[in-house]
């Protein structure tokens, strides 16, 4: 089989070289985007008078036939044609004859593949904004249902202070909001057209790059042809954003694994999101959460892999850059799976409020409030800290909690203690005492939910407007 670029060569490509250098096994995922870009390109060639109208129509009809073959699974990809671009072009020429060879006028595979990836990631960024919105919706609903549920708050995985479970969930709403905003911000750097840059220096044909950008819905055109074909920052940024999303999902996954254990028993995950053991019939394993936690590593790996590929590459295009796609596709699939599963896993999890309350009643997470109590009575904080440290030690040695102590016992540590200390130590009082913006007090959390719902509505509007414009 002769190569479409084989005029300068006197020998066939070695079979091992063909297998090693071909990318069709993975870049066929860009088939729809390749057709999309080619249709816009050939339309521009006709509009600029570079190709006659009859040729343009034949090529467009042929491309639509190839598109139909792709969608029906009828297109046979071969490594001899190397990549998705050459496979489509060869199929086009087979369908409509030599006129199909005019499609590549005024472009290179270098600017063609960059365009395909911009088109591909542009869709994925919007898709992930939508999936993050669904996850935030699930978290907000669960938070609203648990405005009275108190849980131990942790630092160093040691019980620290009581907080509302809703407050804990809202922390993740905030994390995913930052992720969503990063994706939205990155969109303008994905929404750039490289086509027309040629191999590296532009083209001698009088093309209209801005017309192509308008046809494909791109907001901007690359200013520099060298940059256009060698830039992979937009992929790195996506991989970085995906890594942070997976990191946040991984943190939540770890808490789900802990909370669903017998030792914590704070939640129970729905059977639909767990699996069993092949040998221990009593087991209910939080495999989805564990896999999300584990797959975070492969997403990190894809980011660092591409950063390493691009390190020290001279301008402009180099074959090394073929390595930009597999990690990107893998990250897209990994993130899709994680986000699609996480929202329903959150929605269906059962919250064991009694167990959470029992945990709060059987710890010393209200100790800080005693220190604040003494400070309000005039004792310097450092002295109050020491008093409470000794009080807690006394309780541990005597196997009791702070609310179990008599007022006489309290007074042995400070004469400032009065009977009102018992009201101060109640979990609800401890929680609601943190009545500052961003704090865990119930009214503050309710207001935070209201603000988050407003921000979520704005994100939904952004997504709706985008999808309407894309129709």
Instruction: Cite the active site residues.
Output: 156, 277
- Among 31, 25, 58, smallest CA distance to 43 is for 58
- For residue 246, how far is the Cα from the chain centroid? 6
CA 55, CA 64: separation in Å to the nearest integer?
A: 14
Strands 192-193 and 350-351: unpaired
Count Cβ atoms within 10 A of the Cβ of residue 242 and give its class: 0-12 exposed, 13-18 middle, 19 or more buried: buried
Summary count for the chain: helices (H), strands (E)? 19, 6
The secondary structure of residue 285, as a DSSP letter, is: B
- Tokens 């896999």 found at: 291
Could you give the angle at the alpha carbon of 320 between the alpha carbons of 318 and 303, nearest 5°?
Answer: 125
Say if CB 189 and CB 237 are below 8 A apart. yes
Distances (CA, A) of 209 to 41, 60, 67, 79, 266: 9, 19, 24, 31, 58
Distances (CA, A) of 365 to 99, 172, 338, 369: 77, 22, 34, 9
- Tokens 């494909």 found at: 216
Does residue 266 sit in helix, strand or coil?
coil
Give the tokens for residue 441: 């007090």
CA 12, CA 159: separation in Å to the nearest integer?
A: 70
Name beta bridge partners: 122.
none
Distances (CA, A) of 294 to 158, 279, 283, 291: 24, 23, 20, 5
CA 164, CA 434: separation in Å to the nearest integer?
A: 11
Say if CB 372 and CB 380 are below 8 A apart. no
Q: Which residues contact 91 (CB under 8 A, 6 or more apart)?
A: 66, 69, 75
CA 440, CA 462: separation in Å to the nearest integer?
A: 30
Q: Residue 418, CB half-sphere, CA atoms under 13 Å: how many?
A: 6
- Among 371, 299, 310, smallest CA distance to 337 is for 299
Name beta bridge partners: 192.
220
């Amino acid at each position: 089989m002769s190569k479409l670029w084989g005029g300068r060569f006197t020998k066939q490509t070695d079979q091992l070289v063909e297998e090693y250098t071909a990318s069709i096994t993975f870049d066929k995922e860009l088939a729809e985007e390749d057709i999309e870009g080619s249709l816009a390109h050939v339309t521009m060639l006709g509009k600029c008078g570079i190709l006659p109208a009859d040729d343009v129509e034949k090529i467009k009809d042929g491309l639509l036939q190839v598109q139909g073959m792709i969608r029906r699974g009828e297109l046979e990809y071969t490594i001899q044609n190397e990549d998705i671009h050459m496979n489509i072009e060869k199929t086009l020429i087979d369908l409509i004859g030599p006129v199909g060879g005019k499609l590549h006028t005024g472009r290179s595979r270098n600017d063609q593949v960059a365009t395909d990836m911009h088109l591909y990631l542009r869709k994925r960024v919007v898709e992930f904004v939508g999936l993050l919105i669904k996850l935030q919706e699930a978290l907000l609903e669960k938070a609203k249902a648990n405005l009275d549920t108190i849980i131990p708050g942790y630092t160093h995985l040691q019980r620290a202070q009581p907080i509302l479970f809703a407050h804990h969930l809202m922390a993740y709403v905030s994390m995913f909001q930052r992720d969503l905003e990063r994706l939205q911000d990155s969109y303008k750097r994905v929404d750039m057209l490289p086509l027309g840059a040629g191999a590296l220096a532009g083209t001698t044909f009088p093309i209209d790059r801005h017309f192509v950008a308008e046809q494909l819905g791109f907001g901007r055109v690359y200013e520099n042809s060298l940059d256009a074909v060698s830039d992979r920052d937009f992929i790195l940024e996506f991989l970085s954003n995906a890594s942070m999303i997976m990191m946040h999902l991984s943190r939540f996954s770890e808490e789900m694994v802990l909370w669903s254990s017998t030792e914590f028993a704070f939640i129970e995950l729905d059977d639909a999101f767990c699996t069993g053991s092949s040998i221990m019939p009593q087991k209910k394993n939080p495999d989805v959460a564990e896999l999300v936690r584990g797959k975070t590593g492969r997403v990190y790996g894809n980011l660092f892999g591409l950063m390493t590929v691009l390190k020290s590459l001279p301008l402009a295009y180099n074959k090394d850059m073929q390595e930009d796609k597999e990690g990107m596709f893998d990250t897209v699939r990994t993130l899709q799976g994680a986000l699609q599963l996480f929202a329903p896993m959150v929605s269906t999890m059962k919250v064991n409020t009694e167990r959470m309350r029992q945990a709060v009643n059987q710890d010393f997470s209200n100790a800080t409030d005693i220190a604040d109590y003494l400070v309000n009575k005039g004792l310097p904080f450092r002295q109050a800290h020491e008093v409470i440290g000794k009080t807690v030690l006394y309780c541990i040695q005597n196997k009791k909690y702070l609310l179990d102590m008599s007022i006489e016992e309290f007074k042995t540590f400070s004469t400032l203690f009065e009977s009102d200390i018992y009201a101060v130590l109640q979990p609800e009082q401890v929680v609601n005492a943190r009545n500052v913006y961003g704090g865990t007090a119930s009214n503050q959390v309710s207001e935070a939910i209201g603000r988050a719902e407003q921000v979520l509505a704005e994100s939904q509007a952004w997504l709706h407007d985008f999808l309407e414009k894309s129709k």
